[in-house]
Amino acid sequence: MSQQILERNQVDAKNKWHITDFYETDADWEVEFTSLQNQLPELSAFASHLGDDADTLFACLSKNLELSSILDKVYTYSHMRLHEDSGNGTAQAMASRGEMLLVEYSATTSFITPELLSIPEETLEQFRKEKPEESALYDHFFHSLLRQKAHTLTQAEEELLAKASELADAPQQIFTMLNDADMQFGMITDADGNEVPLTKGRYVTFLESSDRNVRKQAFETLYKSYLSQKNTIAATYSSSVKGDVFFAKARNYDSALDMALADDNIPTSVYDTLVDTVHEHLPLLHKYVSLRKKELGVEELHMYDLYTPLVAEADMKIPYAEAKETVLEALQVLGDDYTKALDMGMNSGWIDVYENKGKRGGAYSWGSYAVHPFVLLNHNDTINSMFTLAHEMGHALHSYFTWQKQPYLYGGHKIFVAEVASTCNEALLMEHLLAKTDDKKTRKYLINYFLEQFRGTLFRQTMFAEFERITHALVEAGEALTWEVLNDIYRKLNLQYFGDDIVIDEDIDVEWARIPHFYNAFYVYQYATGYSAAIALSRGILQEGQPAIDRYLDFLSKGDREYSIDLLKGAGVDLSSAEPIQKALALFEELLDEFEAL
Catalytic residues: 392
Q: Find, among 220, 201, 199, the residue nearest to 302 by Cα.
A: 220
373 secondary structure, DSSP code:
E
In what order do the strands lie in the sheet containing 373-376?
351-352, 373-376, 364-367
Residues 296 and 310 sit within 8 Å (Cβ to Cβ): yes
Overall size of the chain counted in residues: 598
Residues 575 and 268 sit within 8 Å (Cβ to Cβ): no
Nearby residues of 380 by Cβ (< 8 Å), 6 or more positions away: 1, 201, 202, 204, 205, 355
Residue 459 CA to its chain's centroid (Å): 16
359 secondary structure, DSSP code:
P
Q: Find, among 202, 219, 285, 257, the residue nearest to 496 by Cα.
A: 285
Residue 260: enclosing H or E segment and its boundaries? Answer: helix 256-262
Q: Cα angle at 105 between 262 and 235, to 5 degrees?
A: 60
Residues 264 and 530 sit within 8 Å (Cβ to Cβ): no
In whole angstroms, how far apart are CA 158 and each of 58, 172, 470, 579? 21, 22, 29, 40
| 351-352 vs 373-376, strand pairing mode | parallel
DSSP secondary structure string, 125-190?
HHHHHHSHHHHHTTHHHHHHHHHTGGG---HHHHHHHHHHHHHHTHHHHHHHIIIIII----EEE-
In whole angstroms, how far apart are CA 104 and each of 57, 75, 108, 114, 330? 22, 12, 6, 17, 45
Residues 244 and 256 sit within 8 Å (Cβ to Cβ): yes
Nearby residues of 272 by Cβ (< 8 Å), 6 or more positions away: none
How far is residue 239's CA from residue 226's CA, in Å, rounded to a whole number?
18
Q: Find, among 540, 524, 368, 552, the residue nearest to 459 by Cα.
A: 524
Residues 236 and 242 sit within 8 Å (Cβ to Cβ): no
